[in-house]
Amino acid sequence: MSRKRALATLLGAFVAAVACASSTYTPPWRITQADAGRSVRVPVGTVIDVALPGNPTTGYIWERAPGDPGGLTSVGAAQFVPESAVEGQGGDIHVQFRVTKEGATPLALVYRRPFEKGTPSANTFWVTIVGEPD
């Protein structure tokens, strides 16, 4: 194999590895159950990742509570990261938001079955996101 071909193959493998690595799930700014009820200060423009325990195989999901006060924009769909490879296993449900304005913005999430209209949520989570100048 010529040096050019070997270098091109190596470069192609490197680019593929970087592309695969960038597509894996890596949270930007993590907020967890331990942050419930707290205020979290982050720069405006930051993407926050709220990781809460859940098990979507039961039909429950975490979603934003009704009454959006603004200041946070959803980023993509929620992602489930299981604790293990066992089917039906619980894990963390990740919901991401971008901070879009300065000041305090309440973030309330509810854990519910979206197909059960009119039933109370099984759990709630709230935190105050304080957007600060970048």
List, in order of start, the domains of the chain with CATH numbers.
Answer: 27-132 (2.60.40.2020)
Cα–Cα distance between 76 and 26 in angstroms, integer?
14
- Please tell me the predicted confidence (pLDDT) of residue 47: 95
Q: Which residues of the chain fall below pLDDT 50?
A: 1, 3-27
| Structure-token pair, residue 71 | 């200041």
109 burial (CB, 10 Å; 0-12 / 13-18 / 19+) is: buried
